[in-house]
Amino acid sequence: MEKKQFTPSTLAYIRVTGPYGENYEPAIAKLCQWEAKAGLEGSTCIFIYHDNPESTPAEKCRTDLCLMVPEGVTASGEIELQPFAGGEYATLRKTITEKPQYGAAWNEHITQIVQLGIEMDDRPCFELYHSYDQATDVADVSFCSAIK
């Protein structure tokens, strides 16, 4: 577990509503196509989770699939822009080799925050992708929760 400070920025995103981890591929493909057309290849990718799946029905859970982009970028098509507030986050970095490991990593992350007595903030949590191999689905990802 590490505490990290994130700088405010602008996010280009597509929102997916439904069970976490499902139906992301079509939205990611659209986001990547837009990124290439905009000349922004290599932008930092984050997935923002807005709802607690323990208290929100799966079909209503909202995920924003995002790219951090420079100020002044204009969105087009299904891509929208939103501000990223930044701030302090508790982070846990993991290598994920199978989809079920995401839930386990989130559980480990939240357990550590609770055990350390860290006070969480109400900003949404997110996954920060350092790298992702499409051929193998192996990801180097940080699990990030807003803290006070």
Q: Strands 125-133 and 87-96: what pairing?
A: unpaired
Nearest to 127 by CA among 106, 110, 99, 148: 106
The pLDDT tens digits for 35-79 are: 999 999 999 999 999 998 889 999 999 999 999 999 999 998 899
- pTM here is 0.94
Count CA atoms within 13 Å of residue 55 on its CB side.
3
Give the pair of three-digit tokens for residue 134: 């499409």
Mean pLDDT along residues 6-30: 95
Q: What is the CATH number that goes with domain 2-146? A: 3.20.80.10
- H or E segment and range at residue 132: strand 125-133
Say if residue 82's pLDDT is above 90.
Answer: yes
Nearest in space to 113 (alpha carbons), one of 86, 87, 148: 148
Give residue-wise pLDDT tens across range 84-138.
999 999 999 999 999 899 999 999 999 999 999 999 999 999 999 999 998 898 9
